[in-house]
A and B are shown apart, each in its own frame.
Chain A
């Protein structure tokens, strides 16, 4: 600990280098953006500084001889159920810096994951299951306001003609979209990759609040453009570039607070796209300063609809908080075509850890309540619901749909598919996987050709699994599962939890 703060050695990870396998080729040295590995000129070998390791596993992944092992540091504080080690480390750090503890990605804390307590049904004897490899299976999803009723008229030749004017819809081949990650928080290469993947899959990706680079307008059919409190990159062409517009009110990882993209991340391209000066911090205010009520939101929704000539649906994204059901009802009544709800486990590029880990509620509970509330009020058809925040696998998606979602937003899973290991250091701008960084040296680690293919593979794989599970339940269309909570059973939940989720306990 020579010349270092006293808590420096309380680091999280140890780098273990196998002496028989390490050939001192320096691949790890070149890959580690935190300089945990370094070439020691005197010793003529690769050495490492454990204290700098963030546990991203980049070195381990690329080590050509598999000589590296990244372990949790085994040194333990004395067992204490209350004063767990992370709290000690937080305090040491804050005692040194006096600052807010920043973090990235979704919350790692042990908030109950209701997906794991919900089980799906399957057909046995009394109704046949369906084999999706032999029979048609429909995952197609339309997001947007549906009419209360359909009216038809008869044409001269006697055939029926739809009289009702339908609201604009977003058509998805899978009930999955890539969630908002702004250009700036992740780099351009990944935006290209998401755009291409969404196009190939026939789904949508969301620009996030950083605007849309001109070169990506060609993917507009598969793009949802976001309007957030900073209004970065928002202009008429932008609003008309996508298949939908989303007003971002809140984010699951940091409900109630704004965003802050540090000036170091604002390179020329980000600056041009966001329409902010090069190198200046881009600060998104906590609220939209023109939205202090549902009526204000109504105005903004219709301002955006006017601007886009009512050609695309408008979504409103909120964080899942205590009164989410009532808020969602207001949003629908304010004219939103889609309500996106982001649960407490949603990710972020940067947020104060205390907020990420302590503010908001799980998406499962929020989703069930919103769906029920809109049904109870008879307005469920007027908006689609998109669930976001910690969707880890196809089973999570299908359970969300059974709980009432029309589709799921995925972001963390998409990033994991391109290498993210959830080291949660996104806010440093030094992401060794080339994801949450605009450093040219690091950003090029994401080749859009490779990244797009991985994202496509992921969603296709989930699609296959969803079809299998749907078929198992005897359903041949995702529509038939939507809000169909009878297909879910709970294990190990309290009566209150089951009441909120609207599901019976397993065995009932």
Chain B
């Protein structure tokens, strides 16, 4: 069996581990556009901040690919897929045959059509190359503007600030972290950033990026008329699925590459995983692109298993993010911003501004479907359990969860026993 994986991110690692669970011998080829072995993409903010050195970026050990019988084609971009002939062509002129193909090309940064956005000094901060350039530049530049107050934007801002760069964040929405967090959590995070000296501007965005005669960025003109002088601009509005190769191959693509319950695309033996895939979401049951790390690994792993013949349905992804802002940890999982006025949802929020802690629980149909934790995150996983295993929470159990926090004794007895002390025959999980 020949496995080919396009993309060398975390989905690819998941896929290798999924394949090897069932198939120890099949040949695996990984085609990666970047020059390095798979690295922890979110680590680039740690690298930029100077918290870790480049030696800590690799996701797996040096012998990982050799040990798993993986042929790496790095610095190589897949240029086409022929689903009839079952081949992949690359920019190096190679044609690689596959029996099973995984497209895990990830996302590409979304660049809004702002005048001046094309050219030098603009960074998306999604690749190691960008991080390395910014590290080199950081001693020379004084000011940076980050467009986008999402996770990537904030981490970029924090890292640049750590490098001694004066940073201003510009966010179109009325608050930062409008995607995965609610207003109160966003405010706690924003306060942390403001307290260390990062400027946060909400409700405005860049109207134009102005450049000097030398072509270098001079500053950003905002929609409210203000002008922010700066040397570099980080554009972090978000990522969109990098699905071109699939589209060209005639594979069905909506927002991302459409996949079925086993994560196979419309083309036989072609699978998709990660930020490029539009896969099932556990909570809604709908197909969505949820570009988050754990989904990428899990989908890659599920693809790997299925490519190797396991025929296991993908259990569905759960949106989740864990991120710290200057030591203030935050976690958000599942549905955290239920539609306004929707009576099916019940929200319990608890804010302690003095202690900088916040907890928000979102229930739907007597089940926990989402939560946000800021500051005190230690019980995070225990809350996740109630969402992931869709545990019924009625009456007293729900009150206990709300008042005393999550506890394994709120689990249904059967699930508890199966999980922690199964009968020897039922122990495999």
Q: Do chains A and B touch in the complex (CB under 8 A)?
A: no
Chain A interfacial positions (CB closer than 8 Å to B): none
Chain B interfacial positions (CB closer than 8 Å to A): none
